[in-house]
Chains A and B, each alone.
Chain A
Amino acid sequence: MIKVQKLYKAYSGINVLTDINLHVRKGEIFGIVGQSGAGKSTLLRCINGLETFDRGKMIVNDTDISLLSEKEIRLFRQKIGMIFQSFALLNRKTVLENVMLPMECWNYSRVKMQKRAEELLDLVGLSGKLQSLPHELSGGQKQRVAIARALTLEPDILLCDEATSALDPAITKSILELLAAVNRQMGITIVIVTHDMSVIKTACDRMAIITGNRIAVEGAVTDVFLEEPPDLIELVGRQEIVAPPGRSIIKLSIRDSEINQSFLYSFASSLRVDFSIVSANIEQLNQKSFGHLYLSVADENVAQTMAYCEQSGMECSVFLPAARAGGDRHVL
């Protein structure tokens, strides 16, 4: 659906995007995450031609967008909706007029505009607010209007530029649910740019991490979170685990298979070694649990424990070997 190949962009000599390669598949929700200034919004704007780039290729819907004329790119943009952190609504137009604006620009008939706008506002749950002005709405409602507006021209792709960053967590969740529904029901491919990792976990199928103007990681969200590449650790922050004297820390990866589910019970009952849970980050994604479990076991039991885990088919590693007196610190 969207293929980015060796894309470069610089602003007055400073690199903004360096050697970007990316593939967003049709029908998926793709998340791009990175610190502010990493170039993620710029990359997003390259997709619909709001920003130009210096080198490389951006192929959207089998169209190489750098080859389009100004007129052609306006036509092309009809198929790509976009929403923003600041909602970008017209303050002096009613909700209905805001949603009709794209269609007005493409000379739809009045009747068709009104009908489509009302349908979409019904879809986003604002059918009672047609004549309201944006300042009478809450942040979440404004973003719903923006989503309805972005869908008016029946796009194949929806770009979200920090769309939930100005909203509180509960509202963010409801907006993400709406986006997921739009994705499922209309088959619209969604690209989300955010600095908020929980947005990626909640909404996205696959993700990319941008660090220092480059794509550092690209993959399925579950894989990235299980593999914990350094760039991910960099973004989510570090967590310290301290091994008490005489004990080691073993790290287990949970991937929601049958084995994983019954593992802890059988581990405790059949292995019969003393252990304690030091830390666990288990996330829910598409009704599946995944994440890591850190167990502390006595040094003399490490070999036995590891053998048991491997035998049961768990992914495991000795995270912190035998601690020295006074405790050994390890940054995770």
Chain B
Amino acid sequence: MFFDFSNTRLFEYLPEIILPAVVSTLQMLFFSMLFGFVIGTLVAILLVMTSPYGLKPNPRFYKTLGFVVNMIRSFPVIILIVAISPVTRALVGTSVGEEAAIVPLTLAAFPVIARYMEASLQEVNPDVILAARSFGASNSQIMFKVLFSEALPSIVSGLTTTTILFLASTTLAGAVGAGGLGAVALTYGYQRFDDLMMYAIVVILFVMVLAIQGIGEIIYRKVKNKGAVGK
């Protein structure tokens, strides 16, 4: 038979191995997205400010920052994890485990978030920016009261996509010692020929993707159809 479900230890492992792995995957995802969002937002603001059509054009700065962002983006996540392990060790004291994986995942996530956000902010109707300048708004007022406010739905959908993308990356991190669902699927499923175990984890990941997408869509609809948030 193609699949062999006869000798599975799935039900035995469910509470003691899989459940903790779900928690640690979610932790890795949450913190790498959180830090990636903070750094990515800062970078996006700098990119939008200094772009040739920006509020304070600075072509040299824009090009340099863009170059750095592109360079980091060109690293496959799995290579990035290995490549920056000395930095990781310096930051969190170890280069293996969930906490250690958050460092390279953050590093991989922030350029993606920054570029998505840059694109969202640049989609805002340029006349709206002109209008804001025409009544004397300062650059930071234009940035936060106009651009971020207008681009919010688009930013939300970009973040949803990025989060799902990095759920896959956290499982990759499992391959190089980070733990989480990826590691479990690999070591307890694939390497022990326990197919049910492996596919059960794929199903769990699938459910997580659906949940992230669903939550993202709910937030998107909320910010898109409603005016100010919390009104």
The count of A-to-B residue pairs whose CB atoms sit within 8 angstroms is 84
With beta carbons under 8 angstroms apart, the residue of B134, B141, B149, B231 that contacts A48 is B134
Q: Does B3 contact A (CB under 8 A)?
A: no
Tell me the minimal C-beta distance from A306 to chain B in angstroms. Answer: 54
Residue of B136, B141, B145, B150 with highest tally of chain A CB at under 10 A = B136
**Chain A 13-63 interface residues, beta-carbon cutoff 8 Å to B:** 45, 48, 50
Are A94 and B227 closer than 8 Å at their CB atoms? Answer: yes
Q: Which residues of B contact A89 (CB under 8 A)?
A: 128
Are A74 and B136 closer than 8 Å at their CB atoms? Answer: yes
Q: Which residues of A contact B127 (CB under 8 A)?
A: 84-88
Q: Does B122 contact A (CB under 8 A)?
A: no
Are A78 and B136 closer than 8 Å at their CB atoms? Answer: yes
0/1 interface trace, chain A 193-212, chain B, CB 8 Å (1 if under): 00000000000000000000
Nearest B residue to A134, CB-CB = B227
Contacts A82-B134, A153-B135; A88 near B227 (Cβ below 8 A): no
Q: Which residues of A contact B153 (CB under 8 A)?
A: 92
Q: Does B152 contact A (CB under 8 A)?
A: yes
Q: Does A280 contact B (CB under 8 A)?
A: no
Contacts A75-B136, A81-B135, A97-B228; A88 near B130 (Cβ below 8 A): yes
Contacts A86-B127, A92-B152; A50 near B133 (Cβ below 8 A): yes
**Chain A 133-165 interface residues, beta-carbon cutoff 8 Å to B:** 133, 146, 149-150, 152-153, 159
Q: Which residues of A contact B138 (CB under 8 A)?
A: 74, 105
Are B135 and A78 closer than 8 Å at their CB atoms? Answer: yes
Tell me the minimal C-beta distance from B3 to chain A in angstroms. Answer: 50
Q: Does B146 contact A (CB under 8 A)?
A: yes
0/1 interface trace, chain B 191-226, chain A, CB 8 Å (1 if under): 000000000000000000000000000000001101
Nearest A residue to B229, CB-CB = A92
Q: Does A64 contact B (CB under 8 A)?
A: no
Chain A interface: which size bin? 35 or more
Q: Does B83 contact A (CB under 8 A)?
A: no
Q: Does A330 contact B (CB under 8 A)?
A: no
**Chain B 86-131 interface residues, beta-carbon cutoff 8 Å to A:** 125, 127-128, 130-131
Q: Does B137 contact A (CB under 8 A)?
A: yes
A153 to B128, CA, bound (A): 17
Q: Which residues of B contact A116 (CB under 8 A)?
A: none
Are B136 and A50 closer than 8 Å at their CB atoms? Answer: no
Residue of B134, B223, B224 with highest tally of chain A CB at under 10 A = B134
**Chain B 132-184 interface residues, beta-carbon cutoff 8 Å to A:** 132-138, 141, 145-146, 149-150, 152-153
Tell me the minimal C-beta distance from B150 to chain A in angstroms. Answer: 6
Tell me the minimal C-beta distance from A91 to chain B in angstroms. Answer: 6
Tell me the minimal C-beta distance from A226 to chain B in angstroms. Answer: 35
A75 to B135, CA, bound (A): 9
Nearest B residue to A95, CB-CB = B227
Q: Does A104 contact B (CB under 8 A)?
A: yes
A78 to B133, CA, bound (A): 10
Residue of A76, A89, A90 with highest tally of chain B CB at under 10 A = A90
Q: Which residues of A contact B134 (CB under 8 A)?
A: 48, 50, 77, 80-82, 150, 159
Are B128 and A90 closer than 8 Å at their CB atoms? Answer: yes
Q: Which residues of A contact B125 (CB under 8 A)?
A: 86, 88
Are A92 and B137 closer than 8 Å at their CB atoms? Answer: no
Q: Does A241 contact B (CB under 8 A)?
A: no
Nearest B residue to A82, CB-CB = B134
Are A88 and B150 closer than 8 Å at their CB atoms? Answer: no
Tell me the minimal C-beta distance from A3 to chain B in angstroms. Answer: 20
Are B135 and A90 closer than 8 Å at their CB atoms? Answer: no
Are B136 and A93 closer than 8 Å at their CB atoms? Answer: no
0/1 interface trace, chain A 92-126, chain B, CB 8 Å (1 if under): 11100100011011100000000000000000000
A34 to B131, CA, bound (A): 23
Are A93 and B135 closer than 8 Å at their CB atoms? Answer: no
Contacts A86-B125, A88-B127, A105-B135; A97 near B141 (Cβ below 8 A): no
With beta carbons under 8 angstroms apart, the residue of A75, A80, A104 that contacts B145 is A104
With beta carbons under 8 angstroms apart, the residue of B136, B150, B228 that contacts A105 is B136
| Cβ-closest 5 pairs across A and B | A102-B135, A88-B131, A82-B134, A88-B127, A77-B136
21 A-B pairs within 8 Å (CB atoms) are namely A50-B134, A74-B136, A74-B137, A74-B138, A77-B136, A81-B135, A85-B127, A86-B125, A87-B127, A88-B130, A90-B128, A92-B153, A92-B223, A92-B228, A101-B132, A101-B135, A102-B136, A105-B136, A105-B137, A133-B227, A149-B131
